[in-house]
Amino acid sequence: MRRPEHIDVPHRQPIDDVLTFSIIGAFFEVYNALGFGFLERIYVQALNIDRTLRAHRVAREVPVLVHYKGFDLTGQRLDMVVDETVVIETKAAYKLDRGGTGQLYNYLCAAKLQTGLLLHFGPEPQFFRVECRHPRRAASESTAL
């Protein structure tokens, strides 16, 4: 179990940087307590408890509608959204699939949110921060070419 010895946090940070730092700390706390080998939903429940105990607003299984050329395709569920700002996608497989960050990026764009964390509860804990700088706009917000 690797845990960072020290992480520098600049004094002036956007609010989502402070929040993601806190979420990453919770990730390591949960990982150090539970280790590798549980189902993904167990880790999500533990993260949910940790975030709630620290007075964060946590929404689980958040539905997001995916659009294509002005048509609603289908709904997608996000594992967790903290403080209506950061999307958390969790994985508990032995090996992390290479498409995980791309999946999270698409979730962020569909949800019109900017910041996400992919938390991998594998044999070695890993996390990845994903940014969607230009969330996809709904067809009604799009400008015609």
**CATH number for position 114:** 3.40.1350
Predicted pLDDT at 15 = 52
User: Cα(132)–Cα(113) distance, rounded to whole angstroms?
Assistant: 7
25 inside domain: yes
Predicted pLDDT at 1 = 45
Predicted pLDDT at 135 = 55
> pLDDT (tens digit, 9 = 90+) per residue, 56-85?
888 888 888 887 888 888 888 888 999 988
- What dihedral do alpha carbons 65, 68, 70, 73 form, nearest 10°? -40
2 inside domain: no
pTM over 0.95? The answer is: no
7 inside domain: no
139 inside domain: no
Per-10-residue mean pLDDT for the chain, 145 residues long? 41 64 93 95 93 85 84 85 91 89 88 91 94 60 34
Token pair 């209506």 is found at 84
What is the domain count for the chain? 1
Predicted pLDDT at 32 = 96
Token representation of residue 81: 């959204």
Task: Tell me the residue range of the domain where 28 lies.
Answer: 15-131
